[in-house]
């Protein structure tokens, strides 16, 4: 039995999801004639009380289009040093939008309103123009941490006072909503644009959505075209997204419970120096300096367990809908009964 905890993106569509995909009413989405894409977009726009939404092939593209919407070349974006847009989007911010990132030294991927205030460049011709603040919730490199919504509100006030846009990379916003009992409406109320992924914890094979007001989003569709993101009969994929929203959101709490369980067991291992607090479905832990990370990973692989390295002797496990109860029991067994300290 292969236990794949590398990411929540490794899930495969369930039989019922595939069935829903086969039933999709499709058309050419470039002519905006795909009924299922239109349905998904209007549903998600409504969820966030935004005027418009657009379906994307990836979270990266949705974020990159958002950066382009809010900035001009030479501008600066304020984000955390752990931000996905900075670390894991192949330098797209500079490649696509010609912007630099002012990286804040946050806590587990999260910063505060004062840090934002201090990071805004003064208005002088020799500074780059600060035009956007970007927040990630939950934080990926920060170990699935959830933001304090009160802090987000304070950051919004700073944005309003300084005429800055506010974008949310909500690839795993669903996890935060379930864990903190928050709503899409409260996020829609604060952010100018929000990207959400359907292909992570929610189990769709493909798809992200960007929401915003009409003016921004009419530009977003043009930029999506420039980035090569137009799709044709994408309704088959949108149907998976609709199914995921119908059936796969509340169950995320099960992934969180399992991740917390793994975190607890990891704290008991001699080879583990520290486990970061587990809030949602991501577990990041650090091995003691003398432990060889590759040997640790190989040892897990011998038991058909796959996880990934985050660098600096830190490793990551991510729980998801294809990580079954049986696999979870087996993981407890493997972690508790393997002699890792020989490595």
Ligand X SMILES: Cc1ncc(COP(=O)(O)O)c(C=O)c1O
Q: How far is the CB of 58 from ligand X (least distance, A)?
A: 3
Instruction: Report CA-CA distances (Å) from 300 to 2, 80, 259.
Output: 11, 32, 17
What is the C-alpha to C-alpha distance for residues 236 and 22, in angstroms, rounded to an integer?
Answer: 7
If the CB atoms of residues 6 and 232 are measured against ligand X, the closer one turns out to be 6
Q: Judged by CB under 6 A, does residue 41 bind ligand X?
A: no
Apex 125 CA angle, 123 and 130, nearest 5: 50
Q: How far is the CB of 82 from ligand X (least distance, A)?
A: 9
Structure tokens at 23: 């039933």
* Interaction pattern, residues 43-72, with ligand X; x per rule: CB under 6 A: ---------------xxx--x---------
Structure tokens at 6: 């590398």
Q: Judged by CB under 6 A, does residue 175 bind ligand X?
A: no
DSSP character string of 74-124: T-EEEEETT-HHHHSSTTHHHHHH--EEEEE--BTTB--HHHHHHHSPPS-
Q: How far is the CB of 109 from ligand X (least distance, A)?
A: 9
If the CB atoms of residues 144 and 291 are measured against ligand X, the closer one turns out to be 144
Q: How far is the CB of 260 from ligand X (least distance, A)?
A: 20
Q: Judged by CB under 6 A, does residue 140 bind ligand X?
A: yes
If the CB atoms of residues 36 and 281 are measured against ligand X, the closer one turns out to be 281
Residue least distant from ligand X (Cβ)? 59
Is residue 130 within 8 A of residue 120, CB to CB? The reply is yes
If the CB atoms of residues 78 and 272 are measured against ligand X, the closer one turns out to be 78
Q: List own/partner pairs for 312-316 with CB under 8 A and 24 or more apart.
A: 312/286, 313/273, 313/286, 313/287, 313/288, 313/289, 314/284, 314/285, 314/286, 314/287, 315/284, 315/285, 315/286, 315/287, 316/6, 316/143, 316/282, 316/283, 316/284
Q: How far is the CB of 211 from ligand X (least distance, A)?
A: 15
Q: Judged by CB under 6 A, does residue 143 bind ligand X?
A: no
Q: How far is the CB of 309 from ligand X (least distance, A)?
A: 15
Q: Judged by CB under 6 A, does residue 134 bind ligand X?
A: no
Query: How many Cα neighbours within 13 Å face the side chain of 11?
Result: 27
If the CB atoms of residues 176 and 300 are measured against ligand X, the closer one turns out to be 176
Q: Judged by CB under 6 A, does residue 84 bind ligand X?
A: yes
In which element (H, E) is residue 284 found?
strand 282-287
**What is the distance, to the nearest Å, from the Cα of residue 263 to the centroid of all Cα atoms in its chain?**
20
Q: Judged by CB under 6 A, does residue 34 bind ligand X?
A: no
Q: How far is the CB of 117 from ligand X (least distance, A)?
A: 24
Rule CB under 6 A: choose which of 47, 54, 93, 171 binds ligand X.
171
If the CB atoms of residues 96 and 208 are measured against ligand X, the closer one turns out to be 208
Please work out the total of residues on this chain that contact ligand X, with binding judged by CB under 6 A. 12
Rule CB under 6 A: choose which of 75, 80, 134, 169 binds ligand X.
169
Instruction: Report CA-CA distances (Å) from 315 to 58, 106, 264.
Output: 24, 20, 15
Alpha helices in 227-251 (DSSP H): 235-247
If the CB atoms of residues 89 and 269 are measured against ligand X, the closer one turns out to be 89
User: Which residues 278-337 are close enough to bind ligand X by CB under 6 A?
Assistant: none
Is residue 241 within 8 A of residue 42, CB to CB? The reply is no
* Interaction pattern, residues 185-224, with ligand X; x per rule: CB under 6 A: ------------x-x--------x----------------
Is residue 55 within 8 A of residue 177, CB to CB? The reply is no
Point out which residues bind ligand X (CB under 6 A). Answer: 58-60, 63, 84, 136, 140, 169, 171, 197, 199, 208
């Amino acid at each position: 039995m292969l236990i794949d905890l590398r990411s929540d993106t490794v899930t495969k569509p369930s039989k019922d999801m595939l069935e829903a995909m086969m039933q999709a009413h499709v058309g050419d989405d470039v002519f905006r004639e795909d009924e299922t894409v239109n349905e998904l977009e209007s549903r998600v726009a409504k969820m966030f009380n935004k005027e418009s939404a657009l379906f994307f092939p990836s979270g990266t593209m949705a974020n990159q289009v958002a950066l382009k919407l809010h900035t001009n070349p030479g501008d600066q974006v304020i984000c955390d040093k752990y931000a996905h847009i900075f670390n894991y989007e192949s330098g797209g911010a500079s490649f696509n939008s010609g912007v630099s990132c002012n990286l804040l030294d946050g806590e587990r991927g999260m910063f505060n309103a004062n840090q934002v205030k201090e990071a805004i460049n003064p208005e002088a011709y020799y500074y780059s123009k600060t035009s956007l603040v970007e927040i990630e919730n939950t934080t990926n490199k920060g170990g699935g941490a959830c933001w304090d919504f009160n802090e987000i509100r304070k950051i919004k006030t700073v944005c309003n006072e300084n005429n800055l846009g506010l974008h949310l990379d909500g690839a795993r916003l669903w996890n935060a909503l379930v864990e903190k009992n928050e709503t899409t409406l409260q996020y829609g109320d604060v952010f100018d644009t929000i990207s959400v992924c359907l292909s992570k914890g929610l189990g769709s094979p493909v798809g992200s959505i960007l929401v915003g007001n009409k003016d921004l989003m009419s530009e977003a569709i043009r930029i999506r075209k420039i980035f090569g993101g137009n799709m044709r009969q994408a309704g088959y994929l949108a149907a998976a997204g609709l199914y995921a929203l119908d059936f796969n959101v509340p169950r995320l709490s099960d992934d969180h419970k399992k991740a917390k369980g793994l975190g607890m067991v990891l704290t008991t291992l001699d080879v583990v120096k520290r486990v970061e607090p587990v809030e949602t479905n991501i577990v990041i832990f650090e091995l003691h300096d003398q432990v060889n990370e590759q040997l640790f990973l190989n040892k897990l692989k011998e038991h058909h367990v796959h996880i990934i390295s985050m660098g600096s002797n830190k490793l990551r496990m991510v729980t998801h809908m294809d990580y079954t109860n049986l696999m979870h029991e087996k993981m407890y067994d493997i972690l508790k009964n393997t002699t890792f300290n020989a490595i």
